[in-house]
Amino acid sequence: MSYDYVELANLGVQKLQPYMAGKPVSELERELGITNIVKLASNENPLGLSEKVKQAIEKEFTDGCRYPDANGHYLKAALSERLGVSAKQITLGNGSNDVLEMIAKIYLQPHHEVIFTQHAFCVYPIVSQAIGATLVEVPAKEWGNDLDAMLAAITDRTKMIFIANPNNPTGTWLGGSALKAFIKKVPANIIVVIDEAYAEYVTDGSIPNTIEWLADFENLVVTRTYSKAYGLASLRLGYAVTSEVICGLLNRVRQPFNVNSFALAAGIAALDDEDYLQKAIAVNQSGMQQLVESCQQLDLQYIPSAGNFLTIDMGQNAIPIYEKLLHKGVIVRPIANYKMPNHLRVSVGLETENQKYITALTEILR
């Protein structure tokens, strides 16, 4: 007897599309027969690992054959002090994607609805649909979250709302008063997830520190990552800050040892390396300026961004431009999968990397 193993899968999973990751740079170099490719495609930190982090990782090799501290005790203690919350409110994840998945797992069931904006980060539909929940995608307003429309989309089946602030792939952001007024209006039985993966880049107060609101909103979940401003994307480290009650639930579904020893040690060292963080923010600000100016010179519309990337309207199908950039040794991210077929998302790199992209694009568009 033979079965269709796709049909045997959960209904939600049957309809899922796998996450589209780019090819490794070395493989592309081999395929295209070029070297020194610049990768501006995954919103990574162009500074590389900080020296303090490298040293912390090296020390971990001694005990590399042992399981990591399952509770991440020291990292949680350091984060608790930094964030001004109890360690009992912090859940560590193998990247923040891990905690986003855990949140979906503890609250969602197939009869629930999950609200997020059009052009929202792709992991929200993935983790929700895997459980079979219904996706409610609310049309965007000026490429960002339309909070009034999201409130209007709430029904008695709504269980969760995901908002990235700033949002990826659009870079749009929400200010504190609008976001707080929104959360106040959301019924308290609906979990509101504020994903602050890029929050460290925003230093002028234009986005709120929602961790400070946790005492007021028991249904609030805040997620952050070490993948961006702290430059630890390959180590996979993120966390959720919640009420102690929700943290307890997250701990029930968390895989034992979900965060490895190298990431735990790196997370503590990264928190201590203020110089690295400040440099990352400064490099991002000047690189962003460089990218914005290039758009102005090339007469291209862009979406003002509070993240470490700029999303640019090529005024035509962006795929051929993406491919030409690739052949000139620059990888950026086409975002047709986010229903933005004319846009390319360009991560902010080092000055020379940004320049390589600008020169290549100028040649292509001329």
State the minimum distance, in angstroms, from the CB of residue 341 to ligand PLP: 20
Work out whether 357 is an interface residue with ligand PLP (CB under 6 A): no
The pair of structure tokens assigned to 146 is: 């339309």
State the minimum distance, in angstroms, from the CB of residue 197 to ligand PLP: 4
- The answer, yes or no, to whether the previous bond of 334 is cis (omega within 30 of 0) is no
CB atoms within 10 A of CB 117: 26
User: Binders of ligand PLP among 58-117, rule CB under 6 A?
Assistant: 95-97
Q: What is the DSSP letter of 346?
A: E
Residue least distant from ligand PLP (Cβ): 95
Counting residues that bind ligand PLP (by CB under 6 A) gives 13
CB nearer to ligand PLP: give 92 or 190.
92
State the minimum distance, in angstroms, from the CB of residue 146 to ligand PLP: 17
Are the C-beta atoms of residues 206 and 173 closer than 8 Å to each other? yes
Report the distance separating Cα 194 and Cα 182, nearest Å: 12
Angle, helices 261-272 vs 51-60, to 10°: value is: 150
User: Binders of ligand PLP among 314-353, rule CB under 6 A?
Assistant: none
Q: In which element (H, E) is residue 134 found?
A: strand 134-138
CB nearer to ligand PLP: give 199 or 283.
199
State the minimum distance, in angstroms, from the CB of residue 175 to ligand PLP: 18
Work out whether 303 is an interface residue with ligand PLP (CB under 6 A): no
State the minimum distance, in angstroms, from the CB of residue 128 to ligand PLP: 14
- The answer, yes or no, to whether the previous bond of 166 is cis (omega within 30 of 0) is yes
State the minimum distance, in angstroms, from the CB of residue 207 to ligand PLP: 13
Work out whether 145 is an interface residue with ligand PLP (CB under 6 A): no
State the minimum distance, in angstroms, from the CB of residue 95 to ligand PLP: 3
* Residue 134 bridge partners (DSSP): 113
Work out whether 43 is an interface residue with ligand PLP (CB under 6 A): yes
State the minimum distance, in angstroms, from the CB of residue 309 to ligand PLP: 9
Report the distance separating Cα 177 and Cα 206, nearest Å: 10
Q: Using the rule CB under 6 A, which residue among 101, 113, 195, 273 binds ligand PLP?
A: 195
State the minimum distance, in angstroms, from the CB of residue 227 to ligand PLP: 3
Amino acid occupying residue 119:
H
Work out whether 121 is an interface residue with ligand PLP (CB under 6 A): yes
CB nearer to ligand PLP: give 19 or 61.
19
Q: Using the rule CB under 6 A, which residue among 168, 219, 242, 354 binds ligand PLP?
A: 168
Report the distance separating Cα 99 and Cα 251, nearest Å: 10
Beta strands, E only, 183-258: 191-195, 220-225, 238-241
Are the C-beta atoms of residues 192 and 221 closer than 8 Å to each other? yes
Q: Widest CA span of the chain, in angstroms? A: 64
Per-residue binding letters, 198-237, with ligand PLP (x by CB under 6 A) = ---------------------------x-x-----x----
Report the alpha-carbon angle 316-320-326, nearest 5.
Answer: 130
Are the C-beta atoms of residues 43 and 228 closer than 8 Å to each other? yes
Work out whether 249 is an interface residue with ligand PLP (CB under 6 A): no
CB nearer to ligand PLP: give 18 or 187.
18
Smallest CA-to-CA distance from 223 within 73, 82, 79, 99 is with 99
**6-12 — which CB contacts under 8 Å span 24+ positions?**
10/130, 10/131, 10/132, 11/110, 11/132, 12/110, 12/129, 12/130, 12/131, 12/132, 12/133
Work out whether 238 is an interface residue with ligand PLP (CB under 6 A): yes
CB nearer to ligand PLP: give 208 or 238.
238
The pair of structure tokens assigned to 37 is: 């490719």
Which spans of this chain sit near ligand PLP (rule: CB under 6 A)? 43, 95-97, 121, 164, 168, 195, 197, 225, 227, 233, 238
